Amino acid sequence: MRFLFMCVCVITSAAFACLHAQPVAKITVIEGQVSVMKKGTSQWRNAKPGIQLDVGDQLYTYEESFAEIRYSIGTVLRMDEKTKVTIEASSEKTIKTKTSMGNVWVNMKKLISTGKQFEVSTPTAVAAIRGTVFDFSYTPDSATYVNVFEGKVAVGPTNELKKKIEKEKKESAKIREPQEVPGPEEIPGPYEVSLEQWLTIVEGQRISIQKNGKYAIDKINMEQAQKEKFIKKNLMLDENLNKK
């Protein structure tokens, strides 16, 4: 009995090691100049289709360049020009990818791992999804935009943003010297409420989150959106993806 038990343990351990060694994602398409920095290195190298990506790896697309990544769970992520992504984590339940600049398109319609969740984030917002299609960008002015083209996306604040909002609340609550109260004035723009809890953004909606945490939700102008080069290209690629 002892010998049988030991054999089972060895086989199980080997299977677990193989599962753990499976790469998180793979580069499937490259156009123009794209660089990869593997975890534990400090050098950017030219990326090529077929390169496997794991936790800690980074990918960057230069001007007029494009890249597509396919994750082990079936998710497809495409990168616009001048975009940088980092694969942050991979567990039994979630794969996390961060974009610190640029624009990405995510298609989860081909999800092959049931119960697995995919998260993509910027320094200010996190989008958690299953079985949907959306456009996600982080602009130079530190604003985050999420456009949902199909399905729904849960959007919430990052820990970094939560701390910032909490700090601002404490500072505004401090006792100040009495001062003259100004007359009523119009509140500028729709950004009045801070993103402090998770929200569900559905198909046809767009949420924009400013660097101070204030957010606004409105409808996507589909006619205008489909004229944008990156969006137009992804809609076409998704059509071909759905046929496979």
Residue 30 belongs to some domain of the structure: yes
Q: Is residue 1 part of a domain?
A: no
Determine the pLDDT at residue 17. Answer: 40
37 and 84 Cβ atoms separated by less than 8 Å: no
**Cβ count near 196 (within 10 Å):** 15
181-208 confidence digits (pLDDT tens): 444 444 345 777 889 889 999 999 999 9
Q: What is the pLDDT of residue 214?
A: 92
Residue 239, domain extent: 24-170+192-243
Residue 37 lies in a domain: yes
Tell me how many domains the chain contains.
1
Residue 6 lies in a domain: no
DSSP, res 1: -
Per-residue pLDDT reduced to its tens digit, 50-93: 999 999 999 999 999 999 999 998 899 999 999 999 999 998 88
Determine the pLDDT at residue 1. 40
Residue 114: inside a domain, yes or no?
A: yes
- The two tokens of residue 204 are 């046809």
d(CA 154, CA 186): 31
Residue 3 lies in a domain: no
Q: Domain for residue 7, yes or no?
A: no
The CATH number of residue 100's host domain is: 2.60.120.1440
Residues 89/95, Cβ–Cβ less than 8 Å? yes
Is the residue at 185 inside a domain?
A: no
As averages over each run of 10 residues, the pLDDT of the chain (244 residues) reads 36 41 90 97 96 97 97 94 97 91 90 76 90 91 94 91 81 59 47 87 94 93 91 92 69
